[in-house]
Amino acid sequence: MHLVIIGNGITGVTAAQTVRRLAPAARITLVSEESEHHYSRTALMYVYMGHLRYQDVKPYEDWFWAENHLELIHATATALDAGQRQLRLSNGQTLGYDKLLLATGSVSRRFGWPGQDLRGVQGLYGLPDLAQMERDTQGISRGVVVGGGLIGVELAEMLHTRHIAATVLVRDQHYWGSVLPPEEAELVDQQFRAHDVDVRYRTELREILGDSSGRVRAIVTSQGEEIACQWVGLGIGVTPNLSLAQDSAVETDRGILVDELLQTNQPDVYAAGDCAQHRQPGAGEVAIEQLWYTGRMQGETVAHTICGRPTPYRRGVWFNSAKFFNLEYQTYGQVPARPPADVESFYWQHPTGSCALRINFAPQTGNAVLGFNAMGLRLRQAVCESWIKAKTPIQTVIQQLKTANFDPEFYRRHERAIQRQFAEMSVVKRY
């Protein structure tokens, strides 16, 4: 079998490694336009901030690929003929395959704002963006970041480490309004304030203004305010990269459409990771998952199917993690920004706002825990997942909190306070 994988991100590389393990004789070729070797996309910001060098964010030594008989082609796949099982590459090569995995990731969104093509306006997705940001933020005094999500806060932190003043425009009334409950968002806002980031809530970008050389000189907000700046970072999310699939016979919608085995509509063509859209996501799951962890899970799952062991992809208990300046965030299970009427919430916060814990539960089903948000605290994923799966009552979870404790500091300093607050509540507080 010759497996060709388009994209050497976490999804493609995980699939390649898993297939190598399951089918030692398979020929595996990884094609990627962005970089010769796989690197950790989530660590891009640390390269800009000077905490890591590019070679530090490559999880494998350069010899790893040849040693594991993984052929690498540094080129763009420009055309796919699924009928002939052939790809055309930007280096002029034609590449045949028996099985093909599309793991082409995402591209940064743009909303068609006037001035968005000026020099100094960009998103942050890959190495070319990092190089562009390095170049265009040299010697500037203010950058404006558009978007109140994960990339928005990363961009603000990146500017802060270079002593560049940052203004962040957030459409919602609080940070990451579609995901975080207001209390957690307020803790993130404290981080913004502590790092002198000027955040404008309920504010959108209307226009980007340029100077005579074609470089950004200011932005205009939805309130009509003009803010002088020399750089604009667009952190308004990503969308599946369909550049190869959309001109082929592979069926696409917002993403590349796949069934539960991550198969497309074309024989022996699969898609996984950020670029895939699930035709029928399971209950509580989403159609397009743009996360590092889910890319890894999908890569591993699809490898089994490719090797003749059909394995449906199931997301399982939701989890995610991030860091907002100095504040770590972990979430397990269901903790929506606005909970349904039958969900209750226990929320504890340290008086200084340095950490907090939210546990959601369902009174109508024996107070079964549904999800956790930990800010500035670390909880063990396996323990939280097992509590959620077993529908453990919140009383038991609070009693046994120390088994989820990842960090002895947390146990010593906060666990008793959390238990005390829970015990003192005659009626558990709704959000």
Phi-psi category of residue 39: left, alpha or beta, with phi > 0 → left and psi -120 to 50 → alpha: beta
Min separation Cβ 105 and ligand FAD, Å:
2
Q: Is 239 in the site for ligand FAD (CB under 6 A)?
A: no
Contact code string over 254-273 relative to ligand FAD, x by CB under 6 A: -------------------x
Which of 295, 333, 371, 376 is in the footprint of ligand FAD by CB under 6 A?
Answer: 295
Helix (H) or strand (E) holding 133: helix 127-136
Which of 146, 156, 244, 404 is in the footprint of ligand FAD by CB under 6 A?
Answer: 244
Q: Is 327 in the site for ligand FAD (CB under 6 A)?
A: no
d(C-alpha 288, C-alpha 294), whole Å: 10
Min separation Cβ 162 and ligand FAD, Å:
16
Min separation Cβ 359 and ligand FAD, Å:
22
Min separation Cβ 336 and ligand FAD, Å:
18
Specify the residue, 238 or 404, whose C-beta has the smaller distance to ligand FAD. Answer: 238
d(C-alpha 16, C-alpha 101), whole Å: 10
Please give the structure tokens belonging to residue 269: 């063509």
Instruction: Characterize 261-297 residue by residue with b for buried, 16 or more Cβ atoms within 10 angstroms of its Cβ, and e for exposed.
Output: ebbbebebbbbbbbbbbbeebeeeeeebbbbbebbbb
Min separation Cβ 315 and ligand FAD, Å:
13
CA max distance for the chain: 72
Min separation Cβ 59 and ligand FAD, Å:
12
Q: Which residue has tokens 């404008």?
A: 200
Q: Are residues 44 and 57 in contact, defined by beta-carbon separation less than 8 angstroms?
A: yes
Which of 17, 18, 104, 392 is in the footprint of ligand FAD by CB under 6 A?
Answer: 104
Q: Is 80 in the site for ligand FAD (CB under 6 A)?
A: no
**Shortest CA distance to 39 belongs to which of 15, 61, 57?**
57
Per DSSP, what are the bridge partners of residue 12? Answer: none
Specify the residue, 35 or 419, whose C-beta has the smaller distance to ligand FAD. Answer: 35
Q: Is 384 in the site for ligand FAD (CB under 6 A)?
A: no
d(C-alpha 203, C-alpha 223), whole Å: 7
Applying CB under 6 A, the residues found at the interface with ligand FAD are: 6-7, 9-12, 31-34, 41-42, 44, 76-77, 103-106, 124-125, 151, 154, 241, 243-244, 273-274, 290-293, 295, 322
